[in-house]
Amino acid sequence: MQVPKYAQPGQAFKELNVTLELKVIADVGLVGFPNVGKSTLLSRVTNAKPKIANYHFTTLNPNLGVVDLDGADGFVIADIPGLIEGASQGIGLGHEFLKHIERTKVIIHMVDAASTEGRDPIEDINTINAELSAYNEEIAKRPQVIAANKMDVLYGEEEEEAINKIREAFEPNGIKVFPISAVSGKGVKELLYYVRELLDTIDDTPVMFEPEFIPGEHSFANDPYTVEQEEEHVFVVEGPRIERMLGYTNLDSEKGFEFFQRFLKESGILEELETKGIQEGDTVRMYGLHFDYYK
Ligand SMILES: Nc1nc2c(ncn2[C@@H]2O[C@H](COP(=O)(O)OP(=O)(O)OP(=O)(O)O)[C@@H](O)[C@H]2O)c(=O)[nH]1
Ligand SMILES: [Mg+2]
């Protein structure tokens, strides 16, 4: 209708304050201590342009990127801000960061295998796994792979020694270790194709999350109302059903008024008024509304 003649006024309804929590959804979560090179890898393998810098907590919000693979399906990778010990108790914005791992399927643990900041990569992985389990047991059970980063800093025997240590610690548990350099790109391809393999092993039936809030369904058609004689020549009609009907009826418009009259008839209100002995010229009161009764 180009020129509507009938409008319904607004009506009182349930009011609700909601807090919406954003959780990033990605196939793969890239986790690790601060400064290990997570954002560098993301920028190397996707078109994402995360901030990269040589200090901790450069990344404060997850960055997403799409990895394209030749001859295989690509996937979405989320670069999660650096985690530290105590993250599951909220330390270092831990909760803020951990929640973004919840909806990923495979986890890449990234470590600084060259220990450029003096930390032990094996301890780092164990620490992060402990934090993941403490936050949500289920996350820690997801398939994992280790990206031993910053291999370009090491040479010859050093390189082998570093990687063998990590392998000895984790490969017996079925967690593969890939030596890489996010800066040069060395080893990255092998890592990505292996991640693709892991994703392919996962049953991809969608996970259904239980709704935490279900707005009540309520039909107003059967809400009660009452018809009473208040005093001589005055009748009162009230109840939730009446209140609601008046709420969506615009009595100033012709159509609205027609609707109102039809409602009185079809709902049986007119009949009840007559049963209660209403006479022509008596007053009917409905909330703020008074009108004279004529047949
Ligand atoms: N030598 C070397 N340095 C690297 C490599 N990858 C990253 N870096 C350097 O490590 C520093 C940290 O890199 P980021 O990618 O910002 O690290 P991040 O893990 O995202 O750090 P947060 O966001 O703080 O958690 C930067 O100075 C990078 O240039 C690598 O493969 N080799
Ligand atoms: Mg980063």
- The alpha carbon of 50 and the centre of ligand 2 are apart by a number of angstroms equal to 7
Determine the Cα–Cα distance for residues 33 and 127; give it in Å rounded to an integer: 9
Whether 107 is covered by a domain: the verdict is yes
Q: Write down the residue that tokens 């319904």 correspond to.
A: 8
**In a shared domain, residues 39 and 179:** yes
**In a shared domain, residues 52 and 182:** yes
Whether 17 is covered by a domain: the verdict is no
- Atom of ligand 1 minimally distant from the CA of 33: 25
CA nearest neighbour of 106 among 209, 155, 158, 175: 175
Q: Considering only CA atoms, which residue is closest to atom 26 of ligand 1?
A: 54
Tell me, using a 6 A CB cutoff, whether residue 153 lines ligand 1: yes
Whether 18 is covered by a domain: the verdict is no
**In a shared domain, residues 177 and 262:** no
Whether 173 is covered by a domain: the verdict is yes
Calculate Rg over the CA atoms of the chain: 33
From 31, 36, 40, give the residue whose CB has the most ligand 1 atoms within 8 Å, as the site to mutate.
40
- What's the DSSP call for residue 168? H
**In a shared domain, residues 271 and 130:** no
Chain length of the chain: 295
* Bridge partners, residue 290, by sequence: 285
The percent of residues above 90 in pLDDT, for the chain, comes to 55
**In a shared domain, residues 162 and 233:** no
Whether 219 is covered by a domain: the verdict is no
Determine the Cα–Cα distance for residues 278 and 251; give it in Å rounded to an integer: 23
Which two structure tokens, joined as six digits, stand for 68?
């394209």
Determine the Cα–Cα distance for residues 275 and 47; give it in Å rounded to an integer: 77
Tell which of 201, 236, 271 closes a domain: 201
Tell me, using a 6 A CB cutoff, whether residue 34 lines ligand 1: yes
Determine the Cα–Cα distance for residues 178 and 180; give it in Å rounded to an integer: 6
Laid out side by side, the sheet with 144-149 consists of: 63-69, 72-79, 28-32, 106-112, 144-149, 176-179
- Atom of ligand 1 minimally distant from the CA of 182: 31
**In a shared domain, residues 181 and 64:** yes
**In a shared domain, residues 175 and 278:** no
Which residue segment(s) compose the domain that 253 sits in?
226-292
pTM given for the model:
0.71
**Contact present, 68 and 155 (Cβ < 8 Å):** no
Q: Which ligand is nearest to the CA of 147?
A: 1
SS3 of residue 28 by DSSP: strand
Tens digit of pLDDT for each residue in 25-72?
899 999 999 999 999 999 999 998 988 888 888 888 889 999 999 999
Residue 281: CATH number of its domain: 3.30.300.350
Tell me, using a 6 A CB cutoff, whether residue 148 lines ligand 1: no
- The alpha carbon of 58 and the centre of ligand 2 are apart by a number of angstroms equal to 5
Whether 23 is covered by a domain: the verdict is no
Centroid of chain to Cα 188: 31
Determine the Cα–Cα distance for residues 28 and 144; give it in Å rounded to an integer: 10
**Contact present, 278 and 231 (Cβ < 8 Å):** no
Tens digit of pLDDT for each residue in 253-277?
888 888 888 988 998 999 999 999 9
**In a shared domain, residues 61 and 137:** yes
- The alpha carbon of 69 and the centre of ligand 2 are apart by a number of angstroms equal to 23
CA nearest neighbour of 111 among 86, 70, 83: 83
**Contact present, 45 and 65 (Cβ < 8 Å):** yes
Tell me, using a 6 A CB cutoff, whether residue 285 lines ligand 1: no
Determine the Cα–Cα distance for residues 207 and 202; give it in Å rounded to an integer: 12
**In a shared domain, residues 113 and 232:** no
Whether 109 is covered by a domain: the verdict is yes
Report CA-CA distances (Å) from 155 to 40, 116, 150, 169, 222. Answer: 21, 14, 11, 21, 81
Which two structure tokens, joined as six digits, stand for 283?
């007053």
- What's the DSSP call for residue 260? H
Tell me, using a 6 A CB cutoff, whether residue 37 lines ligand 1: yes
Determine the Cα–Cα distance for residues 75 and 121; give it in Å rounded to an integer: 26
Tell me, using a 6 A CB cutoff, whether residue 39 lines ligand 1: yes
**In a shared domain, residues 132 and 173:** yes
Q: Write down the residue that tokens 């290990």 correspond to.
A: 36
- Atom of ligand 1 minimally distant from the CA of 43: 15
- Per-position b or e across 204-216, b if 16+ CB within 10 A of its CB: eeeeeeeeeeeee
Please give the tally of structural domains in the chain. Answer: 2
Tens digit of pLDDT for each residue in 144-202?
999 999 999 999 899 999 999 999 999 999 999 999 999 999 999 999 999 999 999 98
Q: Considering only CA atoms, which residue is closest to atom 10 of ligand 1?
A: 37
Tell me, using a 6 A CB cutoff, whether residue 43 lines ligand 1: no
Whether 206 is covered by a domain: the verdict is no
Confidence of residue 117 (pLDDT cuts 50, 70, 90): very high
Residue 167: CATH number of its domain: 3.40.50.300
**In a shared domain, residues 173 and 238:** no
**In a shared domain, residues 120 and 239:** no
